Amino acid sequence: MKLIFEQGAPGRTGIRLPDADVPEQDIEQLIPPEYLRRNSPRLPEVSEVEAVRHFVGLSQLNYGVDNGFYPLGSCTMKYNPKINEEIANLDGFRDVHPYQSESTVQGCLELLYQMDRYLSEITGMSKFSLQPAAGAQGELTGLMMIKAYHEHRSEGHRTRIIVPDSSHGTNPASAQMAGLEILEIKSNQRGRIDLDELKENLDERLAGIMLTNPNTLGLFEYDIREIADLVHQAGGLLYNDGANANAILGITTPGAMGFDVIHLNLHKSFAAPHGGGGPGSGPVGVKEHLAPFLPKPVVKLKEGRYYLDYDRPLSIGRVKAFYGNFSVVVKACAYILAMGPKGLRQVAEDAVLNANYLMQRLKGSYELPYNQVCKHEFVLSGRRQKERGVSTEDIAKRLLDYGYHPPTIYFPLIVKEALMIEPTETESLDTLDKFIETMLKIAREVEQEPETVKKAPHTTVVGRLDGVKAARKPVLRWKLEA
């Protein structure tokens, strides 16, 4: 593809500017000489049609949920209903300023207040803060509250956080940032917490445990109540990484499981668009005993007026400017209201059904390390293909040729050659069947023509990139060559 800088011709233009209304001889006097440009900038000289084609062309290189199936495990790339965008774009939401007085933004405060109530009901918690801008920031906020809770009870020696080896990478990273000591414990053969190993590590150093349920293998932790009792008896608290709530919406709650603090990802389970570093929202919810530690301010209601309460002496403080990513909260609120309790439960049922359907149809051709009923996602292993010299990365690249976004690969770390697949509830049986056919076809290609898979992708604009170099030495803008 030709970049815009490489198109056009001298003198070509797509715009007509009005004549300057400052006499040219005055300019020298009005602008200090060091700010006067003596040479023209080397900008592309293109016509309107060239500019439009350039940008539309770029937009078409992007792949998103609106283009096709995107089974990126643990990321919940579900369809984002467009009505949510329209609602977030209403003047009263879009044009408000965070420094406006409370009396002029009653509607926005009401929305934040109501979202706290909705999310509390959905998760079985008591109170939410909508400040954190992402799941990972929600984790950090939650862990800071756990720390503050222990310190407040003169138990500041509790600084150890238990994290299972199947956890999302952000969990240990957040614990580290919160200044906690991380103790990783191994999963058992069924992909769940090993209760014996847990028991061995419950002592007076325990601050808490971070769990994802269903975990990143897509498996439900059936012992969760027992785990919660053990941890509580040992004086610790339970943190739930609730980034992926799809599987449990309307069926059970982290509150009922015994968690003290959780975060949700509105930009996953609650249909706000994400990816590409776009805005997220990772609200944190707590049970009553942790509510005083929530970030401030919190929205309160008194005599029919909403107001921001800053008078919270035990609060860990602010974690984000103003009220978090407000527009993302608006989109999630629209989604929750449109779905209603029944709709949210249907989300969970369909997400789990879709995942199990894919898993059953794929497990003959790809190894399934944990062969059990899954929740919203499941993890295959490309080990069988790897023995033939074709890696999971090759398989992922080959999927690009067939027009799919690949699943999450090489995660969770406890599965070799992992392929983590999350279809979500918004895909039709047709789409699932087509994807299955493609995955089975690739499995056959690995047997019959492995080189085709190893050299994939063949049909994309760029071939195989050096992923490490792209991360370490990113080239983020086009540079004019000498």
Ligand X SMILES: *Cc1c(COP(=O)(O)O)cnc(C)c1O
Euclidean distance between the first and the last CA atom of the chain, given in angstroms as a whole number = 21
Size of the site for ligand X (CB under 6 A): 14
Q: Is 116 exposed, middle or buried (0-12, 13-18, 19+ CB in 10 A)?
A: buried
Asked if 168 interacts with ligand X (CB under 6 A), we say yes
Cβ at position 415, least distance to ligand X in Å: 15
For the chain, give percent helix, strand, coil, nearest 5.
40, 10, 50
Asked if 174 interacts with ligand X (CB under 6 A), we say no
State which residue, 246 or 381, has the beta carbon closest to ligand X.
246
Stretch that binds ligand X, among 84-92, 133-141, 295-303, 415-423 (CB under 6 A): 133-141
Quick one: tokens of 461? 């604009």
Give the residue from 191, 222, 184 showing the smallest Cα distance to 379.
191
Cβ at position 332, least distance to ligand X in Å: 13
Give the residue from 289, 285, 244 showing the smallest Cα distance to 267.
244
| Contact pattern from residue 89 through residue 128 relative to ligand X, giving x for each residue in contact according to CB under 6 A and a dash for the rest | ----------------------------------------
For ligand X, the binding residues in 50-79 under the rule CB under 6 A are 74
Closest residue by beta carbon to ligand X: 135
The answer to whether residues 53 and 3 touch, using CB atoms and an 8 Å cutoff, is no
For ligand X, the binding residues in 264-323 under the rule CB under 6 A are 265, 280, 282
Cβ at position 168, least distance to ligand X in Å: 3
State which residue, 84 or 166, has the beta carbon closest to ligand X.
166
Cβ at position 216, least distance to ligand X in Å: 6
Task: State how far the Cα of 177 lies from the Cα of 3, in Å rounded to an integer.
Answer: 41
Quick one: tokens of 67? 């283009």
Cβ at position 170, least distance to ligand X in Å: 4
State which residue, 87 or 140, has the beta carbon closest to ligand X.
140
Cβ at position 301, least distance to ligand X in Å: 29
Cβ at position 215, least distance to ligand X in Å: 9
Q: Which residues contact 470 (CB under 8 A, 6 or more apart)?
A: none
Taking CB under 6 A as the criterion, the residue among 46, 77, 130, 134 binding ligand X is 134
Q: How many CB atoms lie within 10 A of CB 2?
A: 10
Taking CB under 6 A as the criterion, the residue among 141, 212, 246, 325 binding ligand X is 212
Taking CB under 6 A as the criterion, the residue among 87, 136, 162, 421 binding ligand X is 136
Report the sign of the C-alpha dihedral through residues 143, 145, 151, 155, in that order: negative
Stretch that binds ligand X, among 130-138, 154-162, 398-406, 447-455 (CB under 6 A): 130-138
State which residue, 109 or 136, has the beta carbon closest to ligand X.
136
Q: Which residues contact 42 (CB under 8 A, 6 or more apart)?
A: 480
Q: Is 100 exposed, middle or buried (0-12, 13-18, 19+ CB in 10 A)?
A: exposed
Report the sign of the C-alpha dihedral through residues 17, 18, 22, 24, in that order: positive
Cβ at position 292, least distance to ligand X in Å: 25
The answer to whether residues 143 and 171 touch, using CB atoms and an 8 Å cutoff, is no
Supply angle C-alpha 107, 301, 93, rounded to 5: 15
State which residue, 216 or 354, has the beta carbon closest to ligand X.
216
Distance of CA 199 to the CA centre of its chain: 32
Asked if 170 interacts with ligand X (CB under 6 A), we say yes
Asked if 135 interacts with ligand X (CB under 6 A), we say yes
72 three-class SS: strand
What is the DSSP code (8-state) at residue 6? G
Taking CB under 6 A as the criterion, the residue among 72, 207, 224, 243 binding ligand X is 243
Note the residues at the interface with ligand X (CB under 6 A). 74, 134-136, 168, 170, 212, 216, 241, 243-244, 265, 280, 282
